[in-house]
Structure 1
Amino acid sequence: MAHSPMDVTRLIATDAARASRVLGGIRASALSGSGPDSDSESGRRPRPVPRPAIRESWNRMLHSGIDPDHDFRVDLLSRDEVERRRQTSPLRHVLPVLREGLLALADTSQHIMMVADADARVLWREGSTAVLRKADGQGLGIGADWREETVGTNGVGTPLVSRRPVQVFSAEHFVHALHSWTCTGAPITDPRDGRLLGAVDISGPLETLHPFTLALVDSVAKLAQARLRDLHLTSLEQLRAVAAPVLARIDGRAIAVDRDGWTAAVTGMPYTNRLALPDPVSPGRCWLPTLGLCWVEPLPSGWLIRPTADPPPASTATHITLDLAHPRRSTVTVTSCTGSWTHDLTPRHAELLYLLALHRGGRSASALADDMFGDPTRTVTVRAEMSRVRRYLGAFLDHRPYRFTERAKVEVRLPESPLDLLPHSLAPGVVRARAASGGQPWLERR
């Protein structure tokens, strides 16, 4: 018999106390290992099952071995470390957007707003004084660690892993100490490259849940991302104004980029959106994967890069490290005789490079489309994404079929748990790889 996840918001709207009890029963059933069919076999009505987002999170918690009944007290970051993270986080630029969109709800509905970085560390909190005191009483103040592996399923850590908005009500929190809370959170990503920046969350007493809170938090997170996009375009315009007279005096190829490699202006060469830069960047001579040997000079808030006429270094083996060990951040690092550089990967590019590393013999566009989408006809999408990947890894990728070049030594760093391998990914090729590594979920999928 098939079972559908319980409509939590509908039940809460009519009887929050009963909803909490029902969810407590679902959680107890999951922890005891009894499946949803156990009652139906004895002739009684089958138990409801958790919602998909909650079920997936509980699977991760069961696998990690976190104690569902422990009374956690997380270590807070020091005041200096919180301030350092605040000053370096792009989220500081969108606090006015988040406050305007969410604090009215937080103040009038006994909620608090929390903004956390990509490590799920709370950097800002505002809202109801009573609810702030309650959070402090559980050790969840500024600098608290809200990662799933620390406090279980919650409205900050779970959206950071799933990369989707998530609402967690009462006993849907894996750890019992959070059952008096309702939390609604959404991830915030860098609109330029999809990199995870953090999450925004609205939390309060369990009886204050509203069915429209999830849509509101998600919408405000998207407004914050749009604001970040506007700020990026403005900064490029400012850099372009500074670089234009410099480029006008150059006889040859040159490109002006910001500190992250995003292009502001070019002369004598095709335009490209972004250059993969060494980490760290320093003035002088360096080698870039798409331009070869270059001279790098500082500009206000950026760099002037001029390719040289010098011959490229002799072809030698290049070490490429695809780091997927962290569930919230994937990177690729290229190391050769000329130096090393690292590039943050979008979720889609992390999937593509993992599949190419898995199939060193190469994959056709149709095979990659099948691996990515379960549809071998979606070759146009695959080719477009591979074209973007080649902007920073083009020197190390062949096509027809797509594969890493023979001179590239590829190392893949995987997480300890198969369930943490690109946990946001629904790509069939990645799902198969998780299962082959022993990543079968504990809770029955329906």
Structure 2
Amino acid sequence: MEATSTLDLARISTMDRTQAARLLASVRHAALAGQQPRVSPRPVIEESWERMLLGGVDPDRDFRSRLLGVEELEERRRTSPLVEIMPMLRDALVSVADAAHHIMVVCDADGRVLWREGHSTVLRKADSLGFELGADWSEGVVGTNGIGTPLVVRRPVHVFSAEHFVETHHAWTCMGSPIIDPRDGRLLGVVDISGPLNTMHPATLALVDAVAKLAEARLRESHVTALDRLRSVAAPVLARLQGRAVAVDTRGWTAAVTGMPHTDRLALPRSMAAGRTWLPSLGTCAVEPLPGGWLLRVDEDPQPLAATRVILDVSGPRRWSVTVEGGGAGGWTHELSPRHAELLYLLSAHRKGRSASGLADDMFGDPARTVTVRAELSRVRRYLGDLLAHRPYRFPEDVDVRVILPEHPANLLPHSTAPAVREARRAAEP
């Protein structure tokens, strides 16, 4: 029997809660049995269920990982960039959550519950589900949910009743939005509002997402202030130097420069230390610490890195990287944003090159969106330099490109809605 329609939140929100829960339970039962349900689940839920089935998550009983110890929990809180925005999240959401019989939950990028506040009765109910401080609520542990699923797809997600993959969570409704660090595009975690099934309100997800965006804006303001502080320290130092040099913060944002054009940001390797390093965009540099950043002094007669290998790691569901190996300066690794991971993966599949219009078609299904593609690849070339050629865009022929893929096709860049990536996931299915 063919599905006649696809569910959406608007339709679910207009239904009686019990009726909606029964409908979703029937949809889930059919999906787990390999049958065609009379209505299709929402795509974000269907794709998550597929990942759970491939990952071996038990749909009938919940699995609870080891809770973080008190010391480890406090250390994660202390070192998390989220601690800076917690007062704002509390002010915006806790009173709303309490009044609506919800709780606010804030998790880090690993899905670990770092903060949890709200209605006392709901907190006790959450304890019975293992929804506790220090618990791991990533998708691979507890299935489709309002924390782990936004971490994977990197966009707001509402998971209602039987949309949860694990049956013991069906009495809950969860609405989570990822928080992205505007300074480097890293996924910091998720802010989530959760509660019993009868407390669902369709506007809650929009509220949670708006608050997450405000939190990101607060981080952006803090970044500008810190960069100004670094600039005041670095400017006198650079004024005394000969040759090319640049002062950057710990995320590579430029505070001051001398002897070379200004660039908003340089990509830095994962591990930065005083001494010498190689950057594809600058070559070999001497590295000196500054308060809140680094001073990079560019070698005027650098030895080029004879790159022999580029390793693109897209095996993880939330983190991706590119590593350059070879040459006397050793290796270099850079963590990728979701968009750059998509583009480099697509280019790795087209070793003879891909035009801007071809990549636009791959990414958006629209070959006319070349401006976006060119802008993003210009940013990629800031850290890969000549290792990414253009006209057409490609990796040089003499560079060995290796791609580390996930074990299961459904986990290939699971956040991506690019037509070519979706097709690659389908083509790799057994």
For the aligned pair, the TM-score class normalised by the smaller chain equals over 0.9
- For 1:353-384, what per-residue CA distance to the aligned partner results, in whole angstroms no more than 9, with x for missing partners? 00111111111222212211222222222111
Q: CA deviation at 1:10?
A: 5.2
In 2, the alpha carbon distance for the partners of 1:16 and 1:389 equals: 47
In the alignment, is the contact (CA less than 8 A) between 1:111 and 1:128 conserved in 2? yes
Q: CA deviation at 1:9?
A: 5.2
1:4 has 2:5 as partner:
yes
Tell me what 1:18 maps to.
19
- For 1:156-179, what per-residue CA distance to the aligned partner results, in whole angstroms no more than 9, with x for missing partners? 001111112111111111101111
**Could you tell me the percent identity over the aligned residues?**
64
Structure-1-length-normalised TM-score: 0.92
For 1:327, the aligned partner's letter is P
For 1:62, the aligned partner's letter is L
Change (3 A) 1:237 1:26: same
- For 1:79-119, what per-residue CA distance to the aligned partner results, in whole angstroms no more than 9, with x for missing partners? 22222222222111111221111111111111111111111
Tell me what 1:360 maps to.
351
Instruction: For CA contacts below 8 A with separation 6 or more, give which structure has more relative contact order.
Output: 1
- For 1:160-219, what per-residue CA distance to the aligned partner results, in whole angstroms no more than 9, with x for missing partners? 111121111111111011111111101111113322111110011111111110110111
Tell me what 2:79 maps to.
88
In the alignment, is the contact (CA less than 8 A) between 1:13 and 1:210 conserved in 2? no
- For 1:126-148, what per-residue CA distance to the aligned partner results, in whole angstroms no more than 9, with x for missing partners? 11122222222222211111111
Task: Report 1:145-224 matches (<5 A).
Answer: 145-224=136-215
For 1:21, the aligned partner's letter is R
Q: CA deviation at 1:260?
A: 1.8
Tell me what 2:277 maps to.
286
In the alignment, is the contact (CA less than 8 A) between 1:325 and 1:421 conserved in 2? yes
Deviates more, 1:206-215 or 1:287-296: 287-296
In the alignment, is the contact (CA less than 8 A) between 2:273 and 2:287 conserved in 1? yes
1:268 has 2:259 as partner:
yes
Pick from 120, 134, 153 the counterpart of residue 125 of structure 2: 134
In the alignment, is the contact (CA less than 8 A) between 1:184 and 1:201 conserved in 2? yes
Please state whether the residue corresponding to 2:314 is helix, strand or coil: strand
In 2, the alpha carbon distance for the partners of 1:226 and 1:130 equals: 33
Change (3 A) 1:278 1:165: closer
For 1:396, the aligned partner's letter is L
1:321 has 2:322 as partner:
no
Gaps (5+ residues) in structure 2? none
Change (3 A) 1:104 1:384: same
Tell me what 2:218 maps to.
227
1:382 has 2:373 as partner:
yes
In the alignment, is the contact (CA less than 8 A) between 1:13 and 1:211 conserved in 2? no
Q: CA deviation at 1:256?
A: 0.4
Q: CA deviation at 1:65?
A: 2.6
Tell me what 2:239 maps to.
248
Q: CA deviation at 1:2?
A: 6.1
Tell me what 1:403 maps to.
394
In the alignment, is the contact (CA less than 8 A) between 1:361 and 1:403 conserved in 2? yes
Pick from 410, 413, 423 the counterpart of residue 419 of structure 1: 410
Tell me what 2:320 maps to.
330
In the alignment, is the contact (CA less than 8 A) between 2:409 and 2:425 conserved in 1? yes
In 1, the alpha carbon distance for the partners of 2:298 and 2:403 equals: 31
In 2, the alpha carbon distance for the partners of 1:118 and 1:179 equals: 24
Deviates more, 1:14-23 or 1:94-103: 14-23
In 2, the alpha carbon distance for the partners of 1:206 and 1:102 equals: 19
Q: CA deviation at 1:245?
A: 1.2
In the alignment, is the contact (CA less than 8 A) between 1:252 and 1:268 conserved in 2? yes
In 2, the alpha carbon distance for the partners of 1:80 and 1:155 equals: 26
1:53 has 2:53 as partner:
no
Change (3 A) 1:21 1:279: closer
Task: Report 1:302-317 matches (<5 A).
Answer: 302-313=293-304, 316-317=306-307
In the comparison of the two structures, how many residue pairs are matched? 428
Tell me what 1:40 maps to.
none
After superposing on structure 2, the runs of 4+ consecutive aligned residues of structure 1 that deviate more than 6 Å are: none
Change (3 A) 1:401 1:129: same
Change (3 A) 1:384 1:340: same
Change (3 A) 1:12 1:395: closer
Q: CA deviation at 1:389?
A: 0.4
Deviates more, 1:11-20 or 1:205-214: 11-20
Q: CA deviation at 1:150?
A: 1.0
Structure-2-length-normalised TM-score: 0.95
In 2, the alpha carbon distance for the partners of 1:30 and 1:356 equals: 34
In the alignment, is the contact (CA less than 8 A) between 1:186 and 1:200 conserved in 2? yes
Please state whether the residue corresponding to 1:203 is helix, strand or coil: strand
For 1:27, the aligned partner's letter is R
Tell me what 2:62 maps to.
71
1:393 has 2:374 as partner:
no
- For 1:404-430, what per-residue CA distance to the aligned partner results, in whole angstroms no more than 9, with x for missing partners? 123322221111110100111111221
